[in-house]
Structure 1
Amino acid sequence: MKAEFINPFVSAAYRVLQTEARCEVKRGTVTIEDSPLISDEVTVLIGVVGRAQGLVLYAMSEKTAKNLVSAMTGEIMPVFDSMVESAVAEMGNVITGLASGELEKAGYPVKIAPPSVVVGKGTAISTLSLRRLVIPLETPLGDITVHVALRESNHALS
């Protein structure tokens, strides 16, 4: 896993959370883990292809998801429903989109797939042979863990 793959996701997550949810963000200690990831209550998955390929995952509790969406919309979200699910999927999409721009500047042009959301704690999500950089982000609205499972590829985008 290249170090160039970490900072774009950290800086993009900071920007999106500070701008959209109007909250401060603190990064915890980055670790490396092997597959599989055991899902949190809500996990957004986004595929990445191009000069870097793999998966980026954003894991959080349902409470954190509701708090984030409440902060972003200005409306209290009392239940985890399709609105909250859609909003956290879009948040992951925006973070990954911003990070992909930074990856391109670093010489790794990529495209991202539409987000998928796994709801339910304890699901094993395999990143196959890809190790994951695990980036914990702490906010007053709850914790989000970003998992970056990317590898360099020789496949250029066409």
Structure 2
Amino acid sequence: MDVKFLNPFVEAAVEVLKAEIGVNVQRGSLSLHQSALTTDDVTVLIHLVGQVYGVVMYGMNTETGIRFVTQILGQEFTEFDSLAQSGVAELGNVISGRATIKFSQAGYASNISPPTLISGKGIQISTLDFPRIVVPLQTNLGELTVHLALRENRNGKLEEFVALTPAAKGS
């Protein structure tokens, strides 16, 4: 993955976490993951299609998700119920939306899918042959880990992404 796709997501995450939750963010060390297994209790998965395509995932533990949603919605959450899950999924959606605006400003048109929330560690999510750059973002409410498995679509056609999906590979 080209690291030029990293900064729009990190910048967007910092902006959204500051604006929506009111926290300061410290970026941790980057790492590269090849494993297809989730490492967090909660993972928000969003696909990108267009000139930049692939998958972005936002991971956190359940307690961090509850703390984030408590701040965003201004009401106390004690369990990770459907409203809390929806709030965490929307947080990933807002960060990704802001990142695609930054891509557009840099000349890369991309769209995002609706978010998918995955609960549980060790769930297999294949990013196919896309290595993931992983960026931990530390806040006083807990850590948000951003996983990026993105590529530039050099021919500008959506078919390049579709051809990489498991269903298309099996046909």
TM range (shorter): over 0.9
Contact residue 39 and residue 59 of structure 1 kept, 8 A: yes
Contact residue 35 and residue 130 of structure 1 kept, 8 A: no
For 1:34, the equivalent position in structure 2 comes to 34
Deviation at 1:79, TM superposition (A): 0.4
Deviations 1:92-151 (A, max 9, x none): 000000000111122211010000000112212111100111010001111110001001
Q: 3-state SS of the aligned residue for 2:148?
A: strand
For 2:134, the equivalent position in structure 1 comes to 134
- 1:111 and 2:125 are equivalent in the alignment: no
Quick check: which has more Rg, 1 or 2?
Answer: 2
What residue identity is the alignment partner of 1:110?
S
**Ranges in structure 2 where 5+ consecutive residues have no aligned partner:** 159-171
What residue identity is the alignment partner of 1:89?
A
Structure 1 or 2: larger strand share? 1
Counterpart Cα distance in 2 of 1:28 and 1:143: 10
Counterpart Cα distance in 1 of 2:38 and 2:62: 15
Alignment RMSD: 1.2
- For normalisation by structure 1, the TM-score amounts to 0.95
**Ranges in structure 1 where 5+ consecutive residues have no aligned partner:** none
- Superposition map of 1:9-158 within 5 A: 9-153=9-153, 154-156=155-157
Contact residue 4 and residue 103 of structure 1 kept, 8 A: no
Q: 3-state SS of the aligned residue for 1:130?
A: coil
Deviations 1:43-95 (A, max 9, x none): 00000000111000000001000000011122111000000100010000000
Give aligned pairs, total.
Answer: 157
Counterpart Cα distance in 2 of 1:136 and 1:37: 17
- For normalisation by structure 2, the TM-score amounts to 0.88
